[in-house]
Every structure is written in C-alpha cells, then in structure tokens.
Amino acid sequence: MTTLQRYFLLQVPGWAVAAIMLAGAWDYGFVPAWLAGVLLLAWVVKDIALYPALRPAYVVESKTGAEQLVGCRAQVSDRLAPQGYVRLRGELWRAELDGGVGTIESGAQVVVVGVDGLVLQVRADANDGAVGEPDA
C-alpha cells in the first residue's frame, strides 16, 4: 500500500464523522444544505492540502525483526563450512554462507546479506582477509 493510499484511508473515517455531523446540523436547521456541503468539501480540501506536510509521518520504512540484521557485520563463532554460528549484537545466530560454497574460519568477520527464517545468510567481509577456499 502506498503512502498516499494509507493517508487517504485514514482520512475516510474523519470525513464520515464530519458528514454525519453536518447532516445532523442541516436536519435540525442549524445550517442550510448548501453550507453543510461547502463545509464538508472544505474539510476534504484541507486534508488534501495537508498531505505534503504530513506525508513523512505515513511513510513506513522501518525494518523489523531479522530484516534489521541485513548489512550488519558479525564475527564467526564456529567455522562456517558452509554452515555454522556467528555472534551478532551479543547473540549467537546460526549462519550459512551465501551460495553454500566455501569455508570461513572462526574469528573472521562476515556481513549478513539475507535472512532465511532464523538462519543468517552471510558472506566474507571484504575488509577481512580470512576467507577459506571453497571445498572441493
């Protein structure tokens, strides 16, 4: 769902409440029908005009759970050949080499490139030369 769709879907209940209240005000004779219509239209135009200023509040780009780990560096705890364990943010995670080929020795740095359930997909950190040769 786009930010624009999310914004307008959240405005619809307010428009409905305004329409009901204005209809009641017209029904009880507090305002003429044309004024109720103009006020409702003004309410909708106000929400449209405020969208550019309020748009950042409706943008959903925060990552949750394991998605936050992609791009983080971790230290290999148990040799990855091609599976093993890495330590990331003080936690021990099961990890697998991206592509499933090769080895990385304990103590080396890796980068998380993906997540498959609770298994981190990792590759050797380009700044760390501790990458083993692919197993034959």
- In this structure, how many other beta carbons lie within 10 angstroms of the beta carbon of residue 96? 17
pLDDT given for residue 62 in this prediction: 64
Q: How much is the pLDDT for 136? A: 30
Cα first-last separation, the chain:
47
Per-residue pLDDT tens digits of the chain, which is 136 residues long: 889 999 999 999 999 999 999 999 999 999 999 999 999 999 999 999 999 999 988 887 766 677 788 889 999 998 998 899 999 989 999 999 988 888 899 999 999 999 888 899 999 988 754 444 333 3
Which residues, other chains included, contact 118 with Cβ-Cβ below 8 Å and sequence gap of 6+? Answer: 66, 93, 94
* Peptide bond just before 82 cis, omega within 30 deg: yes
| Those residues with Cβ within 8 angstroms of residue 80's Cβ, 6 or more apart along the chain or in another chain | 86, 95, 96, 97, 103, 104, 110, 122
Assigned fold of 65-124: OB fold (Dihydrolipoamide Acetyltransferase, E2P) (2.40.50)
Domain ranges of the chain: 3-58, 65-124
Other beta carbons within 10 angstroms of residue 36's beta carbon come to: 20
